[in-house]
Amino acid sequence: MEMQMAERLKKLPPYLFADLRRKMNTAREKGVKVISLGIGDPDKPTPDPVVQELCRAINDTSDIHRQRYGCDVPVPDFPEAVKSFYKRRHDVDLDDDQIVTTMGSKDSIVKFCMGIMNPGDVGIAPVPGYPTYNIGHVFASAVTYQVPLLKENDFLVDFDAIPGEVKRLAKIMWLNYPNNPTTAVADLDFFQKAVDFARENDILIAHDNAYGENTYEGYKAPSILQVDGADEVAVEFFSLSKAFNMTGWRAGFVIGNKSAVGLLRTVKENIDNGSLRAIQFAAAKALSLAEEIIPPINEVYRKRRDMVVDVLNKNGWNIEKPKGTIYVWAPVPEKYKGLSGDFATDLLEKTGVVVTPGLGYGQWGEGYFRISLTYPDEVLEEALSRIMDLNI
């Protein structure tokens, strides 16, 4: 039997990095020592107290529920830790029905779309941007309106440039600041504008706050929920993945608008059954120790950021040091203008270094490439020196 691909899978854009992955393999076969700076997945271990809490919980034979479905016997410490964390970090108060804990943001984004979107509905997604917003729309048989993030607007969404037709039709709009891949940050005024836009046009804002804690030199990224009344028109997705070195653990939460949170909870009850209690305990522990755990993690990225940006700037680039995220977003050299894919391919073939071409994040990502700072210092240094040797 030869299974045919479902229509929804056919609607997904081609995986743009598949081509690069193939070229990586070819280069490796030729004996090139390939260095990837492509993936945003922290290289440092999860902090000890979090690991220890997981071990404590999984070994706790007095917890008669420890092996059971996480959704049926949830660990109340996790949402309590979420409340305390948002109160401490943003002075935001949350009620129980404004919180749903998740297995990270990626699948929650798709599940969220399945809970609120009908076939033909429109969702607004920033480009360049995280591909999963569009994937969520596709899985819900909805469609995406792409809103450009442009350098001249500091990679912020220009709400005034969104056509009236789109404002009328759209049900949801995704935002993500600090932003992957552009590293742009947004201030509270921007979020106020977003909330006003949501109210005027009856569109739910879903703010993906994946990098809100990955910030540098005293910069503090706001939560959209700090805006007065934001919880009437917005939700925020938070993930422990990047801030706490916990990508593989699958832990996060969605907070804000009660009805939207409730709909995500309904989807989850029907398809995922929640995460292991020990993981919920560990996630609660991580959040409760945020002020201790996060600064040393960010210090590692700050040093790498400085190294990467300094080397690039000594070699003809003119990049500002990002205030947030775990990436550097840089323009491609002049001769590769409009050809970020060719730049990435040439770089790989001539130096063995893999960066992600901006086009991989959508049409307005063209002209840029992204370096991830989630690689050991010496790997980053070696990669940068190879790029500079190329003399581009």
Ligand X SMILES: *Cc1c(COP(=O)(O)O)cnc(C)c1O
Number of residues counted as binding ligand X (CB under 6 A): 14
Cβ contact 50:244 at 8 Å:
yes
Angle, to 10 degrees, between the axis of helix 132-139 and the axis of helix 105-116?
40
Q: Which of 152, 162, 153 is nearest to 198 (CA)?
A: 162
Instruction: Give kind and range of the element (H or E) at residue 366.
Output: none
When asked if residue 356 is in the footprint of ligand X (CB under 6 A), the reply is: no
When asked if residue 176 is in the footprint of ligand X (CB under 6 A), the reply is: yes
Nearer to ligand X, 208 or 213 (CB): 208
Least distance between ligand X and beta carbon 170 (Å): 20
**Stretch binding ligand X (CB under 6 A), from 99-107, 161-169, 215-223, 260-268:** 99-107
Residue 310 CB neighbours (<10 A): 14
Nearer to ligand X, 197 or 249 (CB): 249
Nearer to ligand X, 201 or 247 (CB): 247
When asked if residue 130 is in the footprint of ligand X (CB under 6 A), the reply is: yes
Amino acid occupying residue 236:
E
Nearer to ligand X, 108 or 201 (CB): 108
- Please list, in sequence order, all residues whose beta carbon lies within 8 angstroms of the beta carbon of residue 140, skipping any fewer than 6 positions away: 113, 114, 116, 117, 118, 119, 121
Of the residues 46, 98, 105, 134, which one makes contact with ligand X according to CB under 6 A: 105
Q: How far apart are CA 182 and CA 306, in angstroms?
A: 17
Nearer to ligand X, 20 or 103 (CB): 103
Task: Restricting to residues 224-253, name those near ligand X by CB under 6 A.
Answer: 239, 241-242, 247, 252
When asked if residue 374 is in the footprint of ligand X (CB under 6 A), the reply is: no
Helical segments of the chain, H only:
7-10, 17-29, 48-58, 77-90, 105-116, 132-139, 164-169, 188-201, 240-243, 258-271, 277-288, 290-314, 340-351, 377-389
Least distance between ligand X and beta carbon 312 (Å): 22
Query: What is the three-class DSSP state of 235?
Result: strand
Task: Restricting to residues 194-223, name those near ligand X by CB under 6 A.
Answer: 208, 210
When asked if residue 372 is in the footprint of ligand X (CB under 6 A), the reply is: no
- Chain positions contacting ligand X, by CB under 6 A: 40, 104-106, 130, 176, 180, 208, 210, 239, 241-242, 247, 252
